[in-house]
């Protein structure tokens, strides 16, 4: 039996096919730049790679192309279910779930809080229902893992009347935080009781995890809160919105748009949202690249230290996502900031991304350690889907 995983983002759609019982990956791919003349689908499988331009294609056309490619490869035979990444399931969804009318309603209700993310997720579900009628569809929510947060973590200190609008902290990237925390437990056992996981991609968030349960996280009502990111500012004084709007002539919505799309590494460096480009510019002594990197690491280190408070200490810090898995100088700078907590970098292990020591990049002494663990959200979605759709043995 096989599981197809679909992850529809705002202008991209990722997919992967897994063997349901072993978790072995049989194919994966990405349709990107959707809605533009450069839209393109690329895929790989053990027998090779492929690519197909899809000029002007939006999600639905791209997903039809994905299904055609997978059918040609014989990978749509024996599908047991389809797992969908869904960004926001609100406070109601605490676990992954088979898609029913009620679940569809919850995903639609959450469009108000995640207007960029939930609609493409819903397109993926609808199309999969049309192309594979009768096959179970499973929704795996980015927010679900964080629903174990206590009220002191999810409540904002704001007027209670706003509860009626759904104002609270939800947290995101839950599928990734859950995957790497399970992997840390597999590797470290009881020594991974108190974890902070740092998912650092284009979006960035960190999470405090006690014995496998999320206790607190840096993203909030929307993915704008918390760490500095590629184009997002992360946390700023909320009074800044009105202050800048008054002086610039922008509306509040336009200022918030700039905090989402023109801030972070891009806004501070003035060069790029892509850390690789910013690091190259900093090495060349270009403009404001260095301060952008220093700000990124200082904010991240402060957040990690803050997340150790609800945990009552720290056993392990996990780096993941494109930056966490690859950017050695970022990891080194963060660990340097956190030296007072007992973390000491092993420069050789960090250079090899921890591969020589089962992920570890700190020295092998008693006390907290740091690890690099590659995330695999698609595999986590496939596992959840298999658990819900395969007959229990």
**Residues annotated as catalytic (active site), given as ranges:** 142
**Total residues binding ligand ADP (CB under 6 A):** 13
Task: For residue 202, state whether it binds ligand ADP (rule: CB under 6 A).
Answer: yes
Q: Which of 23, 119, 166, 322 binds ligand ADP (CB under 6 A)?
A: 322
Q: Which of 89, 120, 267, 321 binds ligand ADP (CB under 6 A)?
A: 321
Task: For residue 274, state whether it binds ligand ADP (rule: CB under 6 A).
Answer: yes
Task: For residue 203, state whether it binds ligand ADP (rule: CB under 6 A).
Answer: yes
- State the nearest-atom distance from the C-beta of 139 to ligand ADP, in Å: 20
Stretch (H or E) spanning 210: strand 204-210
Burial (CB < 10 A; 0-12, 13-18, 19+), residue 306, is middle
- Cα separation, 352 vs 373, whole angstroms: 12
Q: Rounded to a whole number, what is the distance in angstroms from the first to the last CA of the chain?
A: 14
Which of positions 124-143 make contact with ligand ADP (CB under 6 A)?
Answer: none
Q: Toward ligand ADP, which CB reaches closer, 139 or 323?
A: 323
Residue nearest to ligand ADP (CB): 322
**Which range binds ligand ADP by CB under 6 A, 100-108, 272-280, 292-300, 309-317?**
272-280
- Cα separation, 154 vs 149, whole angstroms: 6
**Which range binds ligand ADP by CB under 6 A, 113-121, 238-246, 251-259, 321-329?**
321-329
Q: Toward ligand ADP, which CB reaches closer, 310 or 322?
A: 322
Task: For residue 323, state whether it binds ligand ADP (rule: CB under 6 A).
Answer: yes
- Give the count of alpha carbons within 13 A of 263, CB side only: 20
Q: Which of 174, 201, 220, 226 binds ligand ADP (CB under 6 A)?
A: 201
- Cα separation, 359 vs 197, whole angstroms: 13
Q: Toward ligand ADP, which CB reaches closer, 31 or 308?
A: 31
Task: For residue 87, state whether it binds ligand ADP (rule: CB under 6 A).
Answer: no
Q: Toward ligand ADP, which CB reaches closer, 38 or 248?
A: 38
Task: For residue 13, state whether it binds ligand ADP (rule: CB under 6 A).
Answer: no
Q: Toward ligand ADP, which CB reaches closer, 123 or 271?
A: 271
Q: Toward ligand ADP, which CB reaches closer, 129 or 326?
A: 326
- Cα separation, 72 vs 325, whole angstroms: 34
Q: Which residues are paired to 204 by β-bridges?
A: 200
Beta carbons of 221 and 230 less than 8 angstroms apart: no
- State the nearest-atom distance from the C-beta of 312 to ligand ADP, in Å: 30
Residue given tokens 């676990």 in the structure block: 95
- Cα separation, 139 vs 98, whole angstroms: 6
Q: Toward ligand ADP, which CB reaches closer, 220 or 321?
A: 321
Task: For residue 260, state whether it binds ligand ADP (rule: CB under 6 A).
Answer: no
Of 232, 228, 222, 224, the C-alpha closest to 198 is 228
Which of positions 324-353 make contact with ligand ADP (CB under 6 A)?
Answer: 326-327
Burial (CB < 10 A; 0-12, 13-18, 19+), residue 72, is exposed
**Which range binds ligand ADP by CB under 6 A, 217-225, 309-317, 318-326, 349-357?**
318-326
The set of residues, in sequence order, having a beta carbon less than 8 Å from that of 263 and lying 6+ positions away, is 231, 232, 233
Task: For residue 276, state whether it binds ligand ADP (rule: CB under 6 A).
Answer: yes
- State the nearest-atom distance from the C-beta of 389 to ligand ADP, in Å: 26
Rounded to whole angstroms, what are the CA distances from 178 to 140, 182, 341? 12, 6, 24
Inter-helix orientation angle 289-311/275-283, to 10°: 130
- Cα separation, 177 vs 379, whole angstroms: 13
- State the nearest-atom distance from the C-beta of 237 to ligand ADP, in Å: 25
Which of positions 207-246 make contact with ligand ADP (CB under 6 A)?
Answer: 230
- Cα separation, 88 vs 334, whole angstroms: 30
The set of residues, in sequence order, having a beta carbon less than 8 Å from that of 80 and lying 6+ positions away, is 1, 2, 3, 20, 135, 136, 385, 386, 389, 390
Q: Toward ligand ADP, which CB reaches closer, 82 or 271?
A: 271
Task: For residue 180, state whether it binds ligand ADP (rule: CB under 6 A).
Answer: no
**Which range binds ligand ADP by CB under 6 A, 117-125, 141-149, 177-185, 196-204?**
196-204
44 three-state secondary structure:
strand
- Give the other-Cβ count within 10 Å of 247's Cβ: 8
Instruction: Point out which residues bind ligand ADP (CB under 6 A).
Output: 201-203, 230, 274-276, 279, 321-323, 326-327
């Amino acid at each position: 039996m096989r599981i197809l995983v679909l992850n529809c983002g705002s202008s991209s759609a990722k997919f992967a096919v897994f063997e349901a019982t072993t978790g072995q990956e049989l194919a994966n791919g990405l349709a990107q730049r959707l809605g533009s003349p450069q839209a393109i689908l690329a895929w790989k499988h053990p027998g090779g790679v492929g690519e197909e331009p899809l000029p002007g294609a939006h999600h639905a056309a791209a997903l039809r192309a994905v299904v055609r490619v997978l059918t040609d490869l014989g990978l749509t035979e024996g599908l047991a279910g389809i797992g969908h990444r869904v960004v926001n399931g609100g406070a109601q969804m605490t676990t992954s779930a088979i898609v029913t009318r009620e679940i569809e309603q919850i995903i639609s209700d959450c469009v108000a809080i995640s207007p960029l993310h939930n609609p493409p997720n819903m397109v993926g579900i609808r199309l999969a229902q049309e192309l594979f009628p009768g096959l179970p569809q499973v929704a795996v929510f980015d927010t679900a893992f964080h629903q174990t947060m206590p009220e002191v973590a999810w409540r904002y200190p704001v007027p209670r009347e706003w509860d009626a609008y759904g104002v609270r902290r939800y947290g995101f990237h839950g599928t990734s935080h859950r995957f790497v925390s399970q992997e840390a437990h597999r590797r470290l056992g009881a020594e991974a009781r108190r974890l902070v996981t740092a998912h650092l991609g284009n979006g960035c968030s960190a999470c405090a995890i006690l014995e496998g349960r999320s206790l607190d996280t840096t993203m909030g009502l929307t993915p704008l809160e918390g760490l500095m990111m590629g184009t997002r500012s992360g946390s700023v004084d909320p009074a800044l919105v009105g202050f800048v709007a008054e002086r610039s002539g922008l509306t509040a919505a336009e200022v918030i748009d700039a905090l989402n799309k023109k801030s972070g590494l891009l806004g501070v460096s003035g060069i790029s949202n892509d850390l690789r480009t910013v690091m190259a510019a900093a090495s060349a002594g270009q403009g404001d690249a260095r301060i952008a990197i220093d700000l990124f690491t200082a904010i991240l280190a402060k957040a990690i230290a803050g997340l150790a408070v609800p945990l009552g200490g720290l056993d392990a810090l996990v780096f993941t996502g494109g930056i966490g898995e690859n950017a050695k100088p970022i990891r080194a700078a963060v660990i340097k900031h956190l030296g007072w907590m007992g973390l000491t970098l092993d420069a050789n292990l960090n250079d090899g991304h921890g591969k020589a020591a089962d992920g570890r990049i700190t020295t092998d002494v008693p006390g907290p350690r740091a690890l690099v663990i590659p995330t695999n959200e698609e595999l986590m979605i496939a596992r959840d889907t298999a658990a819900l759709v395969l007959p229990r043995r």
